[in-house]
Chains A and B, each alone.
Chain A
């Protein structure tokens, strides 16, 4: 594995599941030049950025800045801002809400023109849907780091039926 030393002041990366309470783990794609093939190969670097309010959810694309001195052994960067929220992207040129290659307005208009099926739900309703993360720690455990299940704990133990343990 090639270890890339990252000296950049500002970086953009995607948030990843982590166990740190006041930080986010960010995955950054750096380009590593192979001088023989004259090709750039993408390499992922994992960094911790200081985020005490836990504004970032996993999947968000964030801008992070290198700290002058690391806060702890691992937290070497600060969160500057969330560039794109996962699932809720706003096109910066037009300012409209966007889903892939269509505007949400166009999707709503299409739905209105075609009409909703009598026995159908009408698809996902962006306007009335709650904020992302409302099922966290209840039914959604994807924000926590998973591990391979190594033992069946008795009921009463804190790790009994741990949802982040993969059998």
Chain B
């Protein structure tokens, strides 16, 4: 872990960021945290922001994750969904773990769903495929297939312009 800068630099490791299970459901578009800097009832929310907010943003790059400080006396979380629905989570005097578990249960994808999605992602990485992002760029690289037409021109039988000319 190079650059051990700042408070709790473990939060800045890829392993920590990837280990989070807080993957929000697709309908969630905006995630706002409201809390104050001072106040015993805000302590849990402050700790949640310190430990878990970067994880949440990392796992949900398409969600706008915001914090609002010193706006209201009680801490809460406000979530806006696709249908402009407003979900409120009261965090007054709740601990970091309670908030984390509640958010996970209510508005995040379940562990089963995450496992299913991980399996689907593995299926797509088929080694037999070729093209951009795969092991082999083109079928012409494989021995036994037709060589690259950019290097060796195709026979006239296979070329559309000659076939169409003959037809005309």
Contact = CB atoms under 8 A, between A and B. Distances in A.
B92 to A, nearest CB: 8
A91 B72 contact: yes
A81 B80 CA distance: 12
A93 B76 contact: yes
A33 B58 contact: yes
Interface residues of B, number: 35
A73 interface: no
A84 to B, nearest CB: 7
Nearest to B76: A93
Interface string B28-58: 0110100010110000000000000010011
Interface in B70-108: 70-74, 76, 78, 80, 82, 84, 86, 88, 90, 92
Contacts of B76: 92-93
Task: Please report whether the interface of chain A is mostly helix, strand, loop or mixed according to DSSP.
Answer: strand
A63 B74 contact: no
Interface stretch (B61-69, B118-126, B129-137, B149-157): B61-69
A11 B30 contact: yes
Interface in A89-121: 89, 91-94, 98, 100-103
B71 A84 contact: yes
A80 B84 contact: yes
A27 to B, nearest CB: 12
A93 B89 CA distance: 8
| Residue from A12, A30, A81, A84 having most chain B Cβ neighbours under 10 A | A12
Contacts of A38: 12-14, 17
A37 interface: yes
B12 A93 contact: no
A81 B83 CA distance: 13
A95 B48 CA distance: 25
A40 interface: yes
B57 A101 contact: no
A39 interface: yes
A101 B73 contact: yes
Interface in A45-78: 61, 63, 65
Given A11-B64, A63-B80, A81-B84, A100 B74 contact: no
A29 interface: yes
A23 interface: no
A39 B84 contact: no
Given A28-B64, A83-B78, 14 more contacts: A8-B62, A10-B84, A11-B30, A33-B57, A38-B14, A61-B68, A92-B78, A93-B72, A93-B88, A98-B71, A101-B38, A101-B73, A102-B73, A103-B73
Interface of A: 7-12, 28-31, 33, 37-40, 61, 63, 65, 80-81, 83-84, 89, 91-94, 98, 100-103
Closest 5 CB pairs of A and B: A10-B29, A38-B12, A91-B72, A101-B73, A98-B72
